[in-house]
Amino acid sequence: MSTAAAAKSPAPAMTEAELRSALQPTPLHKVKNFSGATIAADCSTAVAVALTAAIPISIIDYSIMARVAGVAPSSMQELVKGVKTVLFRPHKFFLPCAENKCSLVYRVCATTYGFTYMGSNVAKSYCESHGMEKDANLAAGIASGVMNTVFTIWKDSVILRALPPANPNDLSNAMKPVPFLTRALFCGRDTLTCVAAFTFVPTVASWISGYAYYQKRLPQAPDVILPDSEGKVCLPISCTDVAQMLTPALLQLLTTLMHITAIRYRQTYPQFSLKDLSDSLRSTYLSSTLLRMCRIMPAFGIGGIMNRELRSSLLDRADPCEQSTKV
């Protein structure tokens, strides 16, 4: 009788202080000693994230560039072809194959994002271990931005050389240099993306938190929310994670225009014309923008979240010291 009554009795109410304490997220690791072990953890994390994120990134990248360059009838057709290759013939996706360019594109994408996250992680560890914790995120953003811009220009140049020329009779596409304007547009595109990913995100997250909130479910108080969250929309992930994926994605409305212009300029150089660009934009802008929005998710959204959590886990082992604060 008493057991049944106890089972039916409601759980004791939690105070606001207890609720806030229970909802406090696990603090991320902050580096105390900058050593070979921490550098190895940072670089291992970057490699793991890059090898994973480069799979969807490379498929989408080649789909867009092949369509804009005029060597594929549809971006979606190339996208489906790439997905089928990685699912059913993975050896032809990861290993060099004469039938398609998947392996080449995957390798350059993995290299690009590997160095991007290496720069970010090592810069952050250095700042944290040398008493510059407040500047760690800024340093990580600058380092990753520089790495990403430099290597993405190289990546896109390699992919462009691998594409057939706009004129089928011109067999010198692989030898044709990438024009300065194309490189400049690629540089501007990547700089804007990195600025959005590492500088605007906190501002956007703060704005989102004014209208929405995220709160993990507590078994002892499943329906209780904090007073300052009442009346707001409940999100499945944190406001910071939403901003991390949303901000760079929305910027693609502008950067896709730069991306298409850069590709068409190189493919038709020196006979580039605004009419050709206008025709290309009408036929490829919408699909390319949507694909690049999907592409940016694994690159700076999901990839950034994976990098943050995996790095913290590895550093717990590489730099075993007491952690008491949150990044």
Instruction: Enter the tokens of residue 226.
Output: 């904090």
DSSP, collapsed to helix, strand or coil, labels residue 264 as: helix
Position 152 scores a pLDDT of 84
pLDDT tens digits for range 305-315: 788 889 888 98
Q: Give residue 325's pLDDT band: very low, low, confident or very high (50, 70, 90).
A: very low
Instruction: Enter the tokens of residue 136.
Output: 């760690």
Q: What is the dihedral of CA 71, 74, 79, 81, to 10 degrees?
A: -70
Alpha helices in 169-238 (DSSP H): 180-195, 201-209
Position 4 scores a pLDDT of 45
DSSP, collapsed to helix, strand or coil, labels residue 213 as: strand
pLDDT at 6 over 50: no
pLDDT at 47 over 90: yes
Q: What are the residue boundaries of the structural domains of the chain, listed by start?
A: 30-216+228-317
Least confident of 66-70, 271-275, 285-289: 66-70
Mean pLDDT of the chain: 79
Higher-pLDDT residue of 287 and 96 is: 287
Listed in sequence order, the residues at least 6 apart from 114 whose beta carbon sits closer than 8 Å to its beta carbon are 46, 47, 50, 51
Instruction: Enter the tokens of residue 111.
Output: 């290299």
Listed in sequence order, the residues at least 6 apart from 90 whose beta carbon sits closer than 8 Å to its beta carbon are none
Query: Mean pLDDT highest for which of 138-147, 157-166, 213-222, 272-281?
Result: 272-281
pLDDT tens digits for range 58-101: 888 888 777 777 777 777 888 888 888 889 988 888 887 766 67
Position 321 scores a pLDDT of 66
DSSP, collapsed to helix, strand or coil, labels residue 178 as: coil
Closest Cα partner for 148 from 231, 57, 79?
A: 57
Distance CA 304, CA 182 (A): 28
pLDDT tens digits for range 226-269: 666 777 888 888 888 888 888 888 889 999 999 899 888 887 88
pLDDT at 210 over 90: no
Position 3 scores a pLDDT of 44
pLDDT at 110 over 90: yes
